[in-house]
Amino acid sequence: MSNSKTTHDVHIIGGGLAGSEAAWQLARRGVKVRLSEMRGSGEMTPAHQTDGLAELVCSNSFRSDDDTKNAVGLLHHEMRELDSIVMRAGETARVPAGSAMAVDRDVFSAEVEKTLSEHPNITVVRERVDALPGAGLTIVATGPLTAQALAQSIVGATGEERLAFFDAIAPIIHRDSIDMSKCWIQSRWNKRTEASNEDGDYINCPMTKEQYLAFHQGLIDAEKTDFKEWEKDTPYFDGCMPIEVMALRGVETLRYGPMKGVGLDNPYDTNEEHPQGRWPYAVVQLRQDNKLGTLWNMVGFQTKMKYGAQVELFRTIPGLENAEFARLGGLHRNTFLNSPQVLDRQLRLKAAPHIRFAGQVTGCEGYVESAAIGLVAGIMAADQLAGRDWKPLPATTALGALLSHITGDADAATFQPMNVNFGLFPPLHDVKKKERKEAYTSRAKDDLKIWLAGSAETVPA
């Protein structure tokens, strides 16, 4: 590698997909970059197998490459328009996978490393960084397995406790797939926030005693994910106990916890004594998850059930028979920021604006999403160095929608890692449901063209 004492304009910490993408976007704009990667210095993470840049730790799939009907495929398209190194290397390493994009992980990593190492504006240094730099433009892209010393430094700078824990994530459902002929909107005891809609804050899905008992047994019987060896000693986060773990504590536990029906009047179950509606035996509540109101999360339904088991069981809940999931529940050992709270709209740490964050540590989920946030962080830093005002990406694009979610549109109180999906996009109300996905992608492509035309400096010849 190059001499580690080479001067640089931007210091990038982390040589995964996000850090590699940020380095590439900066270097091709004439910016000198120091890329610090601890693997190869004698250090290793529990999940990585090599010291290669942009190593794919889990799957070798970048998921759907359909840019006409799929949100991640649209993200691929937008990244290609911005000359993404991840998409470039992905084409070189591509293997057959139908309509999906999958790669030979060794070829992919080698291609990224070769391209970055040969660029005159990039110095790759194998070193562990234990603290956030006190000065100088910096991009932190250390992923969900950030080393302990640096994680502690981040905690010190953000004031937000974000150490390694199992965070069991609740599913998120597309609002327009919920059958509201069986559900109703109401806050418990009709208590509402100032931001409430006319009726309340929650969608309520009622259960009879028989439905609840069957559901409770389904939670206990469902297939669960296995722990990796290096995850076994990591504790659950107290606020994210998986629902099936709660179910094991007794048949009534959930009815006195997240499935409590007290204070909720079911308008579909009325009589003379309860003209406003009786309280259900049990209830599943959904809470709005984004400002657009297109995504709703299942309150208290953090889970480590396998994906197929989740879909099968959760579609037995009244009103969710045809539910479409923007994100299924999961269980991760994770280190991530509460980005809507601690980052500004340009991914800068509010408490230390010379530092940007990128990739999975910001709370995006997935290879492509991680790289996409690295791409955007790189362009933002280049514009800042050049004295240009950052022109925000349209929220109608995949890049803009994902960025908006991370930096402020998500609810900071319930923020969890998220893949790109159409629920993050401003809704299209005048389009038939079956035509909506194509309408989203068409609008995004048109708006990206307009953005690029007004931001010609971001795409050098």
What number of helices (H) and strands (E) belong to the chain? 12, 17
98 is in an annotated binding site: no
Contact 57, 66 (CB under 8 A): no
Please give the DSSP secondary-structure letter assigned to residue 392: P
Q: How far apart are CA 95 and CA 19, in angstroms?
A: 24
Q: How far apart are CA 119 and CA 409, in angstroms?
A: 36
277 is in an annotated binding site: no
* Residue at 396: amino acid letter: T
Distance of CA 95 to the CA centre of its chain: 26
Q: Is 148 exposed, middle or buried (0-12, 13-18, 19+ CB in 10 A)?
A: exposed
CA atoms within 13 A on the CB side of 416: 26
30 is in an annotated binding site: no
User: Could you tell me the two tokens for 280?
Assistant: 């259900």
Tracing tokens 């989740």 back to the chain, one arrives at 310
Q: Any idea of the CA torsion for 178, 179, 184, 188, to the nearest 10 degrees?
A: -40
Please give the DSSP secondary-structure letter assigned to residue 230: G
* Residue at 453: amino acid letter: A
Q: How far apart are CA 371 and CA 86, in angstroms?
A: 7
Number of neighbouring beta carbons within 10 Å of residue 220? 10
16 is in an annotated binding site: yes
Distance of CA 150 to the CA centre of its chain: 21
Q: How far apart are CA 359 and CA 369, in angstroms?
A: 7
Measured N-to-C along each axis, helices 367-386 and 71-81 cross at an angle, to the nearest 10 degrees, of 30
Contacts of 55 (CB under 8 A, 6+ apart): 16, 39, 48, 49, 105, 109
Distance of CA 126 to the CA centre of its chain: 28
Going from the C-alpha of 225 to that of each of 222, 242, 299, 314, the distances in angstroms are 10, 12, 21, 17
408 is in an annotated binding site: no
Going from the C-alpha of 140 to that of each of 41, 51, 213, 251, the distances in angstroms are 18, 18, 47, 45
Q: Where are the beta strands (DSSP E) in 43-106?
A: 61-64, 94-95, 100-103
14 is in an annotated binding site: yes
Contact 70, 89 (CB under 8 A): no
Residues contributing to the annotated binding site: 14-19
Residues contributing to the annotated binding site for FAD: 14-19
